[in-house]
Every structure is written in C-alpha cells, then in structure tokens.
Chains A and B, each alone.
Chain A
C-alpha cells in the first residue's frame, strides 16, 4: 500500500514542494538569490503550470481498483519486503530533505567560504570584461564589479591615485591582516556559476568590528598599499565603513 502510494504521489509531492518554494521566493523577491533575474518570469510561469498539473493529479482517480498496479504487471520488482521498505524509506527521506531545504531553511546567499574557494584574488571572470566605458566616468557611482574590472585591467597606480569610491559588498578575509576584500558574486545563470569579484580595502583592525561575511558600506579613496611588499599594491583606504543588512539583490550580473 505504502509503495503504491509512493509511486502515485512522490512526483506530485516533490513538484508541489518545489512549486510552493519557487512561488514564495518569487513573491518575496528572493528568487534572485538562486537564479539570474532574466529567468524569474519563466520560472514563475512554469511553477504555476507545474502546480496546476499537480493539483489536477488529485482530481484523477484510478479507473479501476487495479489501475495502480498496471505498472507492476510487466515489471519485475527486485527484492522482497526489505527492498520495498528501503524504497519507501528512501522516498520519505527525500521528501523530508526537500521540505527542510526548500521550505524550512531560510533563503541565503553564498558565503565568503565559496568566494575564497573560487579564488577572488585572481578571478579570471574579468579577463574578457570591457572597461573602456568606465575610464573617465564618475567613479563615485562605480560598483564592486566596476572597480574589480578596472583593477583587473592593470591600469596603473596613477589611474587609481586619490579616486573616491563608495562600494557595498560582503567581507572576505585575505592573508594580509590589514586588508580585507569587499566582494560580490557575479552570476550569469544561477548561483552555481557565481564568480567572486572583490575590491581590496585597507582597513587595519577590521576583525575587531566586523567578521567575514558581514555586509558593509565603504566610503574612501584609492591609493597605494602602505605595505609595499603586499600582493595588492592598489587598495581602497576606508574613511567610513558601516555594517548593513544583506541587500535585496546581493549578486551582480
């Protein structure tokens, strides 16, 4: 009975878990924590279609008492009661895990651990980025992505000297205790392909007021790193650093 129930309802139950989670994320504006904004409408529409089909499945009753067993007639089912119990238990675990992951746990962005794993300091994401429109622009409106692009292009110390900046991102520790990255993830499709971009900020003693992953708003100006032997020669020297909540759109595109 329980295996019959599993075969008939497992897919519909998992569909509904996914549909409820997607529509709730879309309604609360947090679907973009997982996918690029250009997929939000498509994803929501397909979730509605999937949800409607799942609800319709509840309206269909078997034509006969034996309808449930149609599949079993031709299909040798391996194992005895133990195997059946294993399949049913596995399905139950899957449903519970899906409920916990999709519905119980709060949505979250990727952390500084993933940024470090994907090597923020030498991200190749920006190798092909075009920075010509940034040169000569109003630098106070530049984002982390813009500054990271310019720094990656190696424009020289003179270009950055004294340029004011105002950026928002999360903190990622570096090997230098006086320098911390203010970072964002660049997403092209979904969080799986997120590439970290960071701006090195000179902020001695930052660990006393902040922790890695804290979101901050930094105002300051670029200049040479006081430590001439450091890997990051050009840094943003922070004049004002404020802790802020995670923004509604934490990724850049």
Chain B
C-alpha cells in the first residue's frame, strides 16, 4: 500500500502506476533493441582519436557507475533507514572530535570517491553540518580499508608512502573540516538547490518513517538525476583530456623534486583514477617520480579530479570548489614537497 497515491483516488493511482510501468518497460525494451540491432564492430570506423575518446570516456563511466549506485544506496540507507539516534549517538559532541570520528567513517563505509559524493549528500540531508560532511568526503576515499590495502600492496612501507597517505589524508580532511567550520554562513557553501533540499529534509524529519520504501525509490530517482549527468559529462571531459594531452610530457618532468610534485598532482587531476586502485597506477611511475610526488598524487587525486569536480558541483558552489581545490592542492603539495626536500 505504501506505493499508492494517498491523495489520489485509488483507481487513478493504479492507472498512473500501470501507465508508468508500461512506459518504463517500453523504454527498457527500446534500449535493449538498440543494443541488439546496433552495428557490428567491423562496420563503424570513427578514426583513432574519436574512437579512443569514446573508449576512454566509457571506461570512466563503466568503472564509476557501480560505485555511484552503491553510494546512492548507502546514502538512502543513512537518510531513511538508519535511526538518527544511532548516527548521532556514536558521534562525540565536540566539533573537533566529531570530525575526527567522521574522518574514520570510511573504514565502515568503504565507498570509492564517486560514491562518497551521494553518501556525503545523504549525511548532510540527515543533519550533519557541511564541514562535518566535507571532512568525511575528503577522508573516506583515503582512510578506508580497500585503499589502505591496495596502497600497501603497491608500496609496502617503502619510503613512508603508505603512512604519509593515511596520516596525510586524515590531517588534510580535518584541516578542511576546521577551515570550513569557520565560514560565517555555511549554507552559502552549497548550491541553492541542494541547500533547499537540506532545509526541506530537516523539516521533514518527523515524517521520516512514513512511506520509507516509496521515499527510498523517489530518492534514488532524485539522486541519479543529480549525479549521473555530472558523471557522464565529467567522464567525457576526462576522456577528451586523455586523448588531447601527452602524458609522456608530464612524465619527463618527473625527476625534479619540486616539479614532480605538481606534475603528478596534475596527472591525478587528468586521469581521474579511482582511489581504490590509484596506488597501482602510480606504482608504474614510482621509479620515475620521487616519493613525495607519489604521495601528493595519492592525496590530491581521490578528492580533486575532472570527474569529481563535475560530481561535487551538484552540491557545492563553484567558489566552494575553488577553495576546496586550493586547500587540498596546498596540503598535498606541502606534504609531498616536505617528503622530497626534508
């Protein structure tokens, strides 16, 4: 009964639901039909650059989409199914300690960086402050068991890369949380659309338990409408940059202790590799680049890259993203340069 329209007559609701379902099934049949009757590989020749652009863009979409779905599912769970008393009972009241605990939440919810965006939105809708959600957003892709394990597999304890990544990620997240907690008007950090959604969600707290399945499914539609256009456009931009930019040019600058740090941060921005496996990617460059540059790559990339900027823009203003990029960039570069030069 929870799926039925309450203010509509039962017959009208049933008719609407039937029409909607039939429309959905026709859409799915059409998509399957397009795929089945699409041209074979031998009959389409886009040319190398265009074909590689498509392949690289689709690679980012196919790799990221499952994590976005996972993040949305966890976000819905946190918003609608996890009792608020449980969420807030485990969090200390002191803001500094509270953010510290949140920066470790990624250990329990090891979602890739793309999935952390919808999850952070869910945490804000559930009542966490913006600086608290940002602390989680920055820390979770780095301080989580999968990322730690893959970084260990790639580097072991060589050159302090693993320790620098974990400690640096934790410190950077809490620094960002603290800095944004000083903002005089935190709501101004969010887009007007998402700020309004937060206000509405907080007003609706009393109604959280009614029609939970219905609200969960509606939330899935809303979050995919917010996230997927950004993911698709971000993936296309990432693919375009990959085709247009010479990666080798970046690699040739890798042996300088200062330039190598900034070059690998730029590479992290361009390649947009998932934080769970970025250690394997940068391992290939490990002997070309200095350890500090590798750490800067491993700290900067999980938070800021072309795909993440597109996803984060669904939630934060452009000004907030510029600030976030500058702070994460400065923190990553400082840690990286300190490792190379000290």
Which A residues have a C-beta under 8 Å from some C-beta of B? 7-18, 20-22, 24-25, 31, 33-36, 39, 42-43, 45-47, 49-50, 53-65, 70-71, 74-76, 91, 94, 97-99, 101-114, 117-119, 122-125, 127-128, 188-193, 195, 213, 246
Contacts and interface: CB of A to CB of B under 8 A. Distances in A.
Q: Which DSSP category, helix, strand, loop or mixed, fits chain B's interface?
A: helix
B290 to A, nearest CB: 13
B84 interface: no
B60 A190 contact: yes
Nearest to B60: A192
A128 B66 contact: no
Given A46-B69, A105-B44, 7 more contacts: A10-B228, A61-B20, A64-B5, A71-B196, A108-B54, A108-B55, A114-B56
A192 B63 contact: yes
B3 A106 contact: no
A127 B35 contact: no
B223 to A, nearest CB: 7
Interface stretch (B279-287, B315-323, B324-332): B279-287
B163 to A, nearest CB: 19
Nearest to A122: B248
Nearest to B41: A106
A187 to B, nearest CB: 9
B209 interface: no
Main secondary structure of the interface of A (DSSP, over half): helix
A10 B229 CA distance: 8
Interface string B191-218: 0110011011000000000010010011
A22 B58 CA distance: 10
Nearest to A107: B41
B247 A118 contact: yes
Contacts of A60: 3, 17, 20, 214, 217-218, 221
B185 interface: no
Contact of B229 (A49, A75, A91, A125): A91
A61 B63 contact: no
Given A43-B66, A127-B287, A63 B34 contact: no
A47 B285 contact: no
Contacts of B232: 14, 94, 97-98
A118 B251 CA distance: 10
B288 to A, nearest CB: 5
B217 A53 contact: yes
Contact of A61 (B5, B28, B35, B228): B5
Contacts of A195: 284
Contact of A25 (B3, B62, B66, B286): B62
A128 B283 CA distance: 8
B108 interface: no
Contact of B38 (A105, A189, A213): A105
A118 to B, nearest CB: 5
B221 A188 contact: no
B244 to A, nearest CB: 9
Interface string B242-260: 1100111001000000000
Given A71-B197, A74-B196, A57 B220 contact: yes
Interface in B119-171: none
Given A53-B217, A188-B277, A103 B66 contact: no
B284 A34 contact: no
Given A10-B225, A75-B196, A128 B217 contact: no
Nearest to B193: A75
Contact of A99 (B34, B242, B285): B34
Contact of B52 (A12, A54, A110): A110
